[in-house]
Structure 1
Amino acid sequence: MSIKSLADFCGMKSSTLTDYYKEHLSDFRSWNQISHSDDYIYFTHNLGESISIDETAFSNGELYTIITNKDGHGKKGTLVAMIRGTKAEEVCKRLNKIPEGRRKKVRNITLHMAGSMYQIAKKCFPNATQTIDRFHVQKLMLEALQDLRIQYRWNVMEQENDEIRKAKIRNIEYKAKRFDNGDTLKQLLARSRYLLFKSPEKWTKSQKQRADILFSQFDDIKQFYYLALQLGKIYSLKISHDAARLKLALWFNKVEQWGYPQFNTVINTFKQHYERILNFFDNRLTNANAESFNAKLKGFRATFRGVDDVRFFLFRVAKLYA
């Protein structure tokens, strides 16, 4: 229950109850990390052999780097550190407050492809194997697919505007062509966003109809959609590191043969992180726990309608998850 809900139940102002809890009921003022909590907090005893690195934003888009222990399962013992900012030098400076011996016991780290995350993991946890989160890999491919859809949408909008202008000059009414489901081409592209994130078995009846029309109009969108599904299927296979290398190489070739810039960028990005991507097939670790923890933080933040007092917010997060 949130403080606001309790205050409403008791007929009090939420600000009054919050202040009373902060100053009298909690031990916030005697918290041993209060002096630096707006910059960082850390809990050495929560550091385990398998950890995740992620980032999240508080109020006004302020980014924090979060280190979590996979063995905590999103409960007490999960939070290892929260550090303001994502700059590798600053984050490493804070993480180095954890004894080197403890940091060297970390064996696995899951993270996304940002260069800063790589530097943090390499410098602070030198004995750990880095694994790029599979969902970030798949997300990059899906983002390229959406980029292609949006590119077509802008082209269609430009063409439609030109046709409307010509119709006005000729003093006739412009009528856009409609497909069997009632969509115009512009609407078809706009309304296809969510179905491209789903696998076919999760489409609704209307999404199935819309997908059939979309794919009949844009074969390349269809081909890249199924290539994105193929990438997910490769990840679902219980195969060795070397077998995965071969399957991904063949998949790269299928994508590259189209010669589309956005998808070539995806492949080049994958190749830069190839070994760390392939590590997934050795340990099957993902950043799902970090994403789940991030979602809990956002829910906690929403419950209290934002973060006005960062120190007190982090104090409450520490009480729950550290």
Structure 2
Amino acid sequence: MDMWQPFAQAVAEGLPAAAIVFDRFHVVQQYSKAIDSVRRSEFKRANKADRGLLAGSRYLLLKNAERLNDKQTTRLEELLAANANLTAVYSLKEQLQQLWVQSGSVTTMSQRLEAWCALAETTGLTPMKRFAAMLHRHRDGICNYADHPITTARLESGNVAIGLIRKRARVLLDTAYFKLKIRQCATPELPLGLYALTG
């Protein structure tokens, strides 16, 4: 689930034996906000030449490295070489994502999360300290992923698909048709020969 406190509170009250797993997507999304906060601070205190390098760099810092093209990769390397604080937060982003890739046991994941928080705090950057404090508060739910490796990725992609259907249709007056389009989007495509059997 999302890390919003009322969600966790409702589960604790209604399903006290349930293990809460805070979703990786939402944790990383919060870190993206911290990166952007550092980027804005760096832009404000930069000289004119460095501002030119920082301008339009948000996408480069937030996107995963493997999804950047050669030109974007070169620009990111130039940006990181010129700014130590952005290098630190970008490196920490890569390490944060590894928490879920190499989760191991809950104990191991918790130890690795604590080590990550210690690194984040050594940067001295306020957004990093705040983010590390947030991880400390939600540590149990984050590390429960090691025992229950689930995410809300399918749900999130479904929400995006519904939004696209609504946007394409502009105004859907027929609710039943809207629901049908959602079901069509959610149903995997069948081989052509099976349509006759299911129709």
**TM-score, normalization by structure 1:** 0.52
Residue 253 of structure 1 deviates from its aligned partner by 0.7
The correspondence of residues 125-204 of structure 1 with structure 2, limited to 5 A, is 125-156=15-46, 160=48, 177=49, 185-204=50-69
Which residue of 1 is the match for residue 179 of structure 2?
Answer: 317
Separation in 2 of the partners of 1:253 and 1:264?
Answer: 9
Separation in 2 of the partners of 1:257 and 1:141?
Answer: 16
CA 188–319 in structure 1, closer or farther in 2 if over 3 Å, else same? closer
Residue 222 of structure 1 deviates from its aligned partner by 0.5
1:215 to 2:105 alignment? no
Separation in 1 of the partners of 2:150 and 2:169?
Answer: 33
Which residue of 2 is the match for residue 115 of structure 1?
Answer: 5
Separation in 2 of the partners of 1:247 and 1:122?
Answer: 26
Aligned with 1:194: secondary structure? helix
Which residue of 282, 293, 304 maps to 2:158? 293
CA 243–320 in structure 1, closer or farther in 2 if over 3 Å, else same? same
Q: Runs of 4 or more off by more than 2 Å in structure 1?
A: 119-128, 198-203, 312-322
Structure 1 gap ranges (5+): 1-110, 161-176, 178-184
Which residue of 2 is the match for residue 22 of structure 1?
Answer: none
Kindly indicate whether the alpha-carbon contact (under 8 Å) linking 2:60 and 2:76 is maintained by their aligned counterparts in 1: yes
Per-residue deviation, residues 124-162 of structure 1 (Å, max 9, x unmatched): 444432110011112212221111111122333xx54xx
Residue identity opposite 2:22 in structure 1: I
Residue identity opposite 1:112 in structure 2: D
RMSD of aligned Cα (Å):
2.3
Residue 306 of structure 1 deviates from its aligned partner by 4.3
Which residue of 2 is the match for residue 284 of structure 1?
Answer: 149
Separation in 1 of the partners of 2:149 and 2:166?
Answer: 31
Separation in 1 of the partners of 2:63 and 2:181?
Answer: 37
The correspondence of residues 298-309 of structure 1 with structure 2, limited to 5 A, is 298-306=163-171
Residue identity opposite 2:132 in structure 1: I
The correspondence of residues 1-322 of structure 1 with structure 2, limited to 5 A, is 111-156=1-46, 160=48, 177=49, 185-306=50-171, 313=175, 316-317=178-179, 320-321=182-183
Separation in 1 of the partners of 2:180 and 2:58?
Answer: 38
Residue 318 of structure 1 deviates from its aligned partner by 7.6
Residue 316 of structure 1 deviates from its aligned partner by 3.7
Residue 188 of structure 1 deviates from its aligned partner by 1.9
Which residue of 1 is the match for residue 192 of structure 2?
Answer: none
Q: Per residue, is there more helix in 1 or in 2?
A: 2
Q: Per residue, is there more strand in 1 or in 2?
A: 1
CA 202–296 in structure 1, closer or farther in 2 if over 3 Å, else same? closer
The structure with the largest alpha-carbon Rg is: 1
Residue identity opposite 1:234 in structure 2: L
**TM-score, normalization by structure 2:** 0.82
Residue 120 of structure 1 deviates from its aligned partner by 3.0
Separation in 2 of the partners of 1:290 and 1:237?
Answer: 23
CA 238–115 in structure 1, closer or farther in 2 if over 3 Å, else same? closer
Residue identity opposite 2:34 in structure 1: A
Aligned with 2:20: secondary structure? strand
Residue 302 of structure 1 deviates from its aligned partner by 1.0
